Amino acid sequence: MSAARGPKIAQVNGIDIAYDEVGVGPLVVMVMGTGSPGRVWHAHQQPALAKAGYRVVTFDNRGIAPSSECADGFTHDDMVADTAALIEHLGGGPALVVGTSLGARITQELTLARPDLVRAAVMIATYGRNTPLQQAISTGERALYDQKITLPPEYEAAITAHLNLSPHTLDDDRTAKDWLDVIGFSPQTVTPGVRAQLELHDGEAERLTAYRGITRPSMVIGFADDRTLPPKLAREVADAIPGARYEEVAKAGHFGYLEQPAEVNRLLLDFLAGQV
């Protein structure tokens, strides 16, 4: 396995995409969710996949520096085209593509639009339609930024934990305190680029019917205690994609890949091994 190197910059689709590459083997491209950098995958999933013999590429979506922030706004199609162009730039396609949350939505759309670039796809904590609660949270996040409201850090950490972690995690006082400390030490900063990402959630179209056209092998992972994107939404996506495998991880919230990394990694490795 090759040693990890510093972020690289690919000039693709008219913008700069910062990416990190580690490992040797079949190409796995990992797509992160709203407001988060690609290095979030480095805590658990990237090292496990590289150790198992994959060439793993993580990247910062447009909107997340040092990739181009594109603060004037962009669309889902732009982000899909970014991912496609990065795979072509890497020269290792078709790729195994793994995405979570917004990254899963991008993965679904990429698999539908460019099946030639996708060997197989994994969608984690995903959705194919908007819900009133999801819409309200996104509207509120945009309003906080637009009105220049900064929440007290302790309160922001608590709300972030409540929305993204399982009650099983938060019921243990020591574990909850550890998570609150981690979130507090590394808060998500809403930059102009992140604000542009948040705009994507305004009036997102229902796409479940379209996903019946996905032809690549697919696995959908839902998290049983996900308050942000409840597992029923992930199951709807799996039901829409012909032949898709659905798995649900217990005692996991929206950050389930961080809360239950051993189980998420087991599912990833099991599925991907059957695609190479």
Spot the catalytic one: 68, 101, 138, 218: 101
Contact indicator for 34, 18 with CB cutoff of 8 Å: no
Q: Which amino acid is at 34?
A: T
Chain centroid, CA 227 distance in Å: 16
Question: Is 226 a known active-site residue?
Answer: yes
Question: Is 16 a known active-site residue?
Answer: no
Q: State the sign of the Cα–Cα–Cα–Cα dihedral 78, 13, 255, 220.
A: positive
- Candidates 119, 111, 141, 132; CA nearest to 211 is 111
Question: Is 162 a known active-site residue?
Answer: no
- Candidates 5, 21, 9, 145; CA nearest to 68 is 9
The Cα 272–Cα 130 span in angstroms is 29
Active site residues: 101, 226, 254
